[in-house]
Amino acid sequence: MVQMTVDDMVLKVVFLLQVGTGLLANTYLLFMHSSVLFTEHKPKPTDLILSNVAMANSFVLLSKGTQQIMEDMGLVHALEGSGCQVFFYFHRVSRELSLCTTSLLSGFQAVTISPRHGVWTRLRRWVSRHVGCSCLFCWTFNLTISTISPIEIKVFWDNSSDSSIGNGIACQYVVAMTGLYAIPLSILGALLMTLMVVASMHMVCLLHRHHHRVQHIRSCSLSLTSRISPEMRATHSILLLVAGFIPFYFLNSIYIFYGMKSFSSYLWLQHFLKFLATCFPSLSPLVLIFRNPRTLSSCF
pLDDT in tens, 45-103: 889 999 999 999 999 999 888 877 777 666 656 556 666 777 778 888 898 899 999 99
In this structure, is residue 190 part of a structural domain? yes
Q: Is the CB of residue 76 less than 8 Å from the CB of residue 38?
A: no
List the domain range (segments joined by +) for residue 151: 6-297
Stretch 124-136: mean pLDDT: 90
What pLDDT is attached to residue 36?
Answer: 83
Which pLDDT band holds residue 6 (cuts at 50, 70, 90)? Answer: confident
Mean pLDDT rounded to a whole number for the chain: 77
What pLDDT is attached to residue 165?
Answer: 38
Give per-residue pLDDT as tens, 198-253: 999 988 888 878 666 766 565 665 544 556 667 777 888 888 888 889 888 888 77
Question: Buried (b) or exposed (e) across 95-126, using 16+ Cβ within 10 A?
Answer: bbbbbbbbbbbbbbbbbbbbeeeeeeeeebee
The verdict on pTM exceeding 0.85 is no
Q: Is the CB of residue 284 less than 8 Å from the CB of residue 57?
A: yes
Distance CA 202, CA 12 (A): 39
More confident residue, 36 or 181: 36
CATH number assigned to the domain comprising residue 292: 1.20.1070.10
DSSP state of 49: H
Give per-residue pLDDT as tens, 150-167: 555 555 555 444 444 344
> Whose CA is closest to 2, among 174, 171, 170?
170
**Helices 279-290 and 6-39, packing angle to 10 deg:** 50
Distance CA 288, CA 53 (A): 11
Does residue 24 register a pLDDT over 60?
yes
Domain count, the chain: 1
Lowest-confidence pick of 41-50, 139-148, 166-175, 193-202: 166-175
In this structure, is residue 118 part of a structural domain? yes
Which pLDDT band holds residue 37 (cuts at 50, 70, 90)? Answer: confident
Q: Which neighbouring-strand residues pair with 156? A: 172
In this structure, is residue 281 part of a structural domain? yes
Percent of the residues in the chain that have a pLDDT greater than 90, as a whole number? 21
Under 8 Å CB-to-CB from 266, ≥6 apart: which residues? none
In this structure, is residue 1 part of a structural domain? no
Q: Is the CB of residue 124 less than 8 Å from the CB of residue 44?
A: no
